[in-house]
Structure 1
């Protein structure tokens, strides 16, 4: 009977085991899609639907989408218990993280408040 891959690797010297394990650990950090992310988190579609206040078929639809709003992706990732971070990699530049893109609460805070007709502008008080 043949030996398993794990048995072969464990029979190698420690430095060779580390050379094999490093790329494997890196690959293990990547996921194919949202469905796999949800499964890694140990959640069912019903759990995500409940967290997002939507129906289970809508979760299935989100998981099959190839294009979506960042706010939808952020909500989904938070529903599985994660945090979405957006990193931009430009040639010959260090990686840059974008904060608040797709974050509806940050977008709402950044919008200038519109003055109502007849109302005093924000920060002003009427005298009289």
Structure 2
């Protein structure tokens, strides 16, 4: 007796099984958004709100945003116990990681000293 269509669909040809499994594994490494990321980390919105010192509705709003500051995303990821890495993929180049976005000044430019918390604000010179 021949195989049914259901049998053929249920078991892909052997040479395609590895490709399908690799694609499936890659898809399992992706998440739809921050909500799913938080759930994978086993955290509730209230946990994130407490860590970020904001309200639970604010966490919900962050999770629904389509666009946000990198600092907001970094704080959110750290609140769920993760670390944010920013990777840039350019054509014909290996992937590059940016470690200190916003901390680097153009070549030759003076880098302003960072204010430490608790330091008095700089005094203006009159003259």
Q: Deviations over 1:95-116 (max 9, x none)?
A: 11101226xxx57xx9523975
Partner of 1:53: 53
Distance 1:93 1:73 in 2: 26
Report the Cα distance in structure 1 between the residues aligned to 2:90 and 2:16, rounded to whole angstroms.
34
Q: TM-score, normalized by length of structure 1?
A: 0.68
Counterpart CA distance in 1 for 2:45 and 2:30 is 20
* Structure-to-structure mapping, 1:96-111, within 5 angstroms: 96-101=96-101, 111=111
Greater per-residue helix proportion:
1
Residues 36 and 94 of structure 1: CA distance in aligned 2, closer, same or farther (over 3 Å):
same
Structure 1: which 5+ runs fail to align?
1-7, 119-128
Q: How big is each residue's C-alpha offset from its partner over 1:35-78, in whole Å with a ceiling of 9 and x where there is no partner? A: 11011111110011011111101000100111111010000011
Match of 2:43 in 1: 43
* Aligned residue number for residue 71 of structure 1: 71
User: Which deviations, in whole Å up to 9, do the C-alpha atoms of 1:108-128 show, x marking residues without a partner?
Assistant: xx952397567xxxxxxxxxx
Q: Structure 1 residues 23, 99: CA separation in 2 closer, same or farther (over 3 Å shift)? A: same
CA distance in 2, matches of 1:97, 1:85: 7
The size of the alignment, in residue pairs, is 106
- Does residue 92 (structure 1) correspond to residue 89 (structure 2)? The answer is no
RMSD: 3.1
